[in-house]
Amino acid sequence: MAATDNSLSNTASRLPFQIPEKLIHSLRQAQKITALTGAGISAESGIPTFREAQSGLWARYNPEDLATPQAFERDPDLVWRWYDWRRKLIASTRPNPGHLALAALEQKVAQFALITQNVDGLHAAAGSQSIIELHGNIFRFYCNRCRRPAPASAAQAQSPPQCAYCRGMIRPDVVWFGEQLDASRLDAAVKAAKSCDFFLLIGTSGFVQPAASFPYLASKAGATLIEINPAASAVSTIVEHVLRGPAGEVLPGLVQTVWPA
């Protein structure tokens, strides 16, 4: 049974902000919604974002100095240990209400695409289906030389295992700075950005290309942009609607308000 307006406004009023009625109704009419997520959506699961200082042993390292092919060539064990630390941190977390709300939203619209810059696998764990892991996945591995996939058991190793085929070094299946993205994933993401009614920008600072260009592609193709982030991002200026708050609160509130159960 559709919630009546006053229950809608009650739900809406519980949010840290008001969602304009016009936006609520046009979201309901949406046939295709594309979401782009960044590290911010996993922040409430306890995973530090990129631009937050790293904690503990890794505090003195800058991700940009570890997540590169050069760093892996120079000191494979160091890079491997850093990813092992991140894998263990991520394995101790679970999807937060923001991830879960996106998985619920996917069931509310005819077509939905989720482009994520995150490599933590939390969207899949939350039940999202149509995920484009633009920057890969920290729990997958491949050979740095012949690029053949390597078994997930590589995660148990303390240093880069050797490839069973060519004896090259096994590495995490994540995009390093300066590396090309997987062409099929990039194509799918561009298509999803260019063919949606609404483009949701969630928990990303909007600095890193090519993901940072997707909101522009979506806007040029006629989509309405909604940003969900407690702070401004590099693309806030082109966004029509800004929902200033943490994804773990805003997304559940948005889904409950627009598509009441």
**Which residues have a catalytic role annotated?**
135
**Closer residue to ligand OAD, CB minimum distance, 8 or 118:** 118
Minimum distance from CB of 199 to ligand OAD (Å)? 15
Query: Given candidates 39, 138, 163, 239, which one binds ligand OAD under the rule CB under 6 A?
Result: 39
The DSSP bridge partners found for residue 172 are 141
Under the criterion CB under 6 A, does residue 186 sit at the interface with ligand OAD? no
CA distance 135 to 132: 9
Q: Does 215 interact with ligand OAD (rule: CB under 6 A)?
A: no
Q: Where are the alpha helices (DSSP H) in the chain?
A: 5-14, 21-29, 40-43, 63-66, 69-74, 76-91, 97-106, 122-126, 183-194, 214-220, 247-258
Q: Which stretch binds ligand OAD (CB under 6 A): 46-54, 123-131, 186-194, 215-223?
A: 46-54
Q: What strands lie across the sheet with 136-143, from one edge to the other?
A: 149-150, 136-143, 170-174
**204, 224, 256, 257: which one contacts ligand OAD (CB under 6 A)?**
204
Sheet holding 241-243, edge to edge: 131-133, 111-116, 32-37, 198-202, 224-228, 241-243
Is residue 110 classed as helix, strand or coil in its secondary structure?
Answer: coil
User: At its nearest, how many Å lie between ligand OAD and the CB of residue 146?
Assistant: 22
Residue 203 in contact with ligand OAD, rule: CB under 6 A: yes
State yes or no: residue 44 binds ligand OAD (CB under 6 A).
Answer: yes
Q: Give me the least distance between CB of 134 and ligand OAD, in Å please.
A: 8
If binding means CB under 6 A, how many residues of this protein chain bind ligand OAD? 25
15 binds ligand OAD (CB under 6 A): no
SS3 194: helix
Query: By CB under 6 A, is residue 117 in contact with ligand OAD?
Result: yes
Nearer to ligand OAD, 8 or 249 (CB): 249
Is position 208 an interface residue for ligand OAD (rule: CB under 6 A)?
yes
What residues have CB less than 8 Å from 231, skipping those under 6 apart?
244
Residue 185 burial (10 A CB sphere; 0-12, 13-18, 19+): middle
**Amino acid occupying residue 219:** S
- Is residue 210 reached through a cis peptide bond, with omega within 30 degrees of 0 on the bond before it? yes
Sequence-distant (6+) residues with CB within 8 A of 224 are 26, 197, 198, 199, 240, 241
Judged by beta carbon, residue 1 or residue 231, the one nearer ligand OAD is 231
Binding to ligand OAD (CB under 6 A) within 47-66 occurs at 49-51
Closer CB to ligand OAD, 135 or 140, in the complex = 135
Q: Least distance from C-beta 39 to ligand OAD, angstroms? A: 4
Binding residues vs ligand OAD (CB under 6 A): 38-41, 43-44, 49-51, 67, 117, 135, 175, 203-205, 207-208, 229-231, 233, 246-248
